[in-house]
Amino acid sequence: MPQLIKIKSLYEISLNWVEKHLFILATTHNGPPERMKRRKFIAENLSYHCCQLILNHILDKSKQKCMWTHKITLLEMLGDDNTKVVDLTKLGRMYIDDLFQLYRVLFISKITNVYRLGINCYIPEDDRQYLGEINIKMYTMLRYMRNLRWVTLNSIANLAMVRTLGAYAQHLEYLDVSRSYKIFDDAAPALLLIENIDLEHLCESDLKRLQVRTTPCANKLKFINFSKTLLGAKGAFICLKYAPNLKSLGGPSNGFSTSELVSLVQPSDKLLKLNLVSLMDGRLLEKDAENIPIICPALEEVSISAAYIPSLHLLQPISKLTLDMDYKAWGDDIWNYTRAKGELLKELIFKNNINGPIELGWFVDVTPNLEVLTVCLECHYPSDCFGNWDHLKTADIVVRTSKCLMDFTLHSPVLENLNIWFEPSIRDINSYEYKCINDDLLMIIMIEGGLSKLKKLIINKCSVGPAGVDCLLIHCTDLCCLGCLREWENFTEEDIDELKTRVIKSNWELDLIYIQYTDGSYVYV
């Protein structure tokens, strides 16, 4: 049976009751005088540490399921100049009305001493005309947030925000402004350089000769993400040259190739070694790849299109690899690379892999040390013809047959987190073979010794019913998360309600997921 929920301390129980009471207050509509009165009462009776713990719990999507309006109201009640973390990125994307209310709360609550600020927005084109005016309020706040170290401003950042961070956030280490449509090449010098320079009229040789003073955060920055913005090669060149401790430029960009720029940024008279640990690029040409082991000796993670797999042979051994398969089959190239360097891989992610499944039989033997895997699998080899993934703990797999799922689970003895998708091939798009993932299959797997270490199981479409769930509860003693129950054909709404009641009465530490949205977020039972 699953683990029992541990008895909380009196302190934790008290915090939980306070949180529930505050949530009730947040859902009632009151005017500004009443809200200010509550803020004053909380400030006088709750310590900073308690307020921050409650606030962190509220802003954790997996624990708190309430509307944006209520969360922002709770931030207004609990936040003050002692608040250190306001990270809203776990909650999904907010809209422009919520963004306006958030700015208002940050301003009136004087939340200026934060070291972690995370805002993730979705701004439709019709609303973009209002964003500039709304952002004005944030410019002043950023000038006072001088302790910022971790900042995410997805979809909302502009030149003024980036320039303010460069001038005032002297401890800044992490900056993510992805999907911000107002970010151009001039954002990089605004962030990193004290002098104003016009990149538009500078050529490559001019950029190499450029000698200017840098902002205080230039030597501290380790991560900058400009993906899905309009920043081009010149802006990325500035980042690589003037942020010496930079470890990653974030996700791939259409405006530049990082692998190409690491060679271009080299001065003519000496070797400039970069501290890049992660290289996320759309392409990796062989002429650029052969220079990377010398220029980026600390490289550990690479993300590229699968069309450039041959270039990987020229790199130093890496532990994390992400390949965009582009819905094509690249089995031969993957075999050639993993046969040579697969033993060193610990994390391997295949994106858009549905049309090019990987044969499980040879794949296990060439990547024996994997710990994290995302892949579409097929299995034609006999089960006793290949070895085990003795270190694999997290897997997100797409399968098409029950044999493939059984062989995978039986050859992954320490698997803890498993996400299963059943996807038929294109020619069998209306196939009902997902029904093969049923109670009998789970029982056979567990009788054979599979899934004994399982903690989290997500199956997106199957025919598992109450008998299969009972078998999981008995066999998987560490199980703490199970879903997506709505997608299970033989598990009815009555079964879901009965299981929820059973979990509560038994005091099990078990989260039940009802459904998963396309953005990856969950709705819990």
Please list the rounded mean pLDDT of every run of 10 residues in the chain (525 residues): 83 85 79 81 84 83 62 88 88 86 92 94 90 91 95 95 95 96 93 89 82 93 94 92 93 84 87 93 91 95 95 96 92 94 96 90 95 95 88 95 93 96 66 82 93 94 93 94 92 94 93 79 75
* Claim to verify: residue 76 and residue 218 sit in the same structural domain: no
* Claim to verify: residue 361 and residue 480 sit in the same structural domain: yes
pLDDT of residue 3: 86
Number of residues in the chain: 525
Q: What is the DSSP string of 453-520?
A: T--EEEESSBB--HHHHHHHHHH-TT--EEE-GGGBTT--HHHHHHHHHHHHHHTB--EEEEEE-TTS
Element (H, E) at 457: strand 456-459
Tokens of 117: 């600020």
pLDDT of residue 442: 94
The pTM of this model reads 0.89
In 248-319, which ranges are E strands?
278-280, 301-305
* Claim to verify: residue 67 and residue 144 sit in the same structural domain: no
- H helix runs in 169-249, sequence order: 187-192, 204-209, 233-242
* Claim to verify: residue 460 and residue 424 sit in the same structural domain: yes
pLDDT of residue 243: 95
With respect to residue 299, please indicate whether it lies within any of the assigned structural domains: no
pLDDT of residue 94: 86
Q: The domain containing residue 220 runs over which residues?
A: 84-256
With respect to residue 100, please indicate whether it lies within any of the assigned structural domains: yes
Give pLDDT tens digits for 474-493. 999 999 999 899 999 999 99
* Claim to verify: residue 368 and residue 510 sit in the same structural domain: yes
* Claim to verify: residue 71 and residue 101 sit in the same structural domain: no
pLDDT of residue 104: 92
* Claim to verify: residue 31 and residue 63 sit in the same structural domain: yes
Domain CATH for 136: 3.80.10
Among 209, 235, 256, which residue terminates a domain?
256
With respect to residue 241, please indicate whether it lies within any of the assigned structural domains: yes
Tokens of 410: 């039986």
CA dihedral over 95, 97, 102, 103, signed as positive or negative: positive
pLDDT of residue 63: 42
Among 58, 80, 102, which residue terminates a domain?
80
User: Number of structural domains, the chain?
Assistant: 3
With respect to residue 76, please indicate whether it lies within any of the assigned structural domains: yes
pLDDT of residue 518: 67
Residue 449, Cβ neighbours under 10 Å: how many? Answer: 11
CA geometry: angle 459, 68, 23, nearest 5 deg: 95
Nearest to 322 by CA among 417, 397, 252: 252
Q: Is 107 helix (H, G, I), strand (E, B) or coil?
A: helix
* Claim to verify: residue 492 and residue 505 sit in the same structural domain: yes
Within 8 A by CB and 6+ apart from 305, the residues are 282, 283, 323, 324, 326
* Claim to verify: residue 95 and residue 236 sit in the same structural domain: yes
* Claim to verify: residue 465 and residue 494 sit in the same structural domain: yes
With respect to residue 291, please indicate whether it lies within any of the assigned structural domains: no
* Claim to verify: residue 383 and residue 428 sit in the same structural domain: yes
pLDDT of residue 427: 53
Residue that has been written with the tokens 């999904």 in this structure? 92
CA dihedral over 374, 352, 343, 334, signed as positive or negative: positive
With respect to residue 352, please indicate whether it lies within any of the assigned structural domains: no
In 157-277, which ranges are E strands?
174-176, 223-225
Phi, psi of 193 (to 5 degrees): -115, 140
Nearest to 304 by CA among 270, 257, 341, 362: 257
* Claim to verify: residue 151 and residue 4 sit in the same structural domain: no
With respect to residue 490, please indicate whether it lies within any of the assigned structural domains: yes
With respect to residue 266, please indicate whether it lies within any of the assigned structural domains: no
Tokens of 480: 């703490």
Among 240, 256, 272, which residue terminates a domain?
256
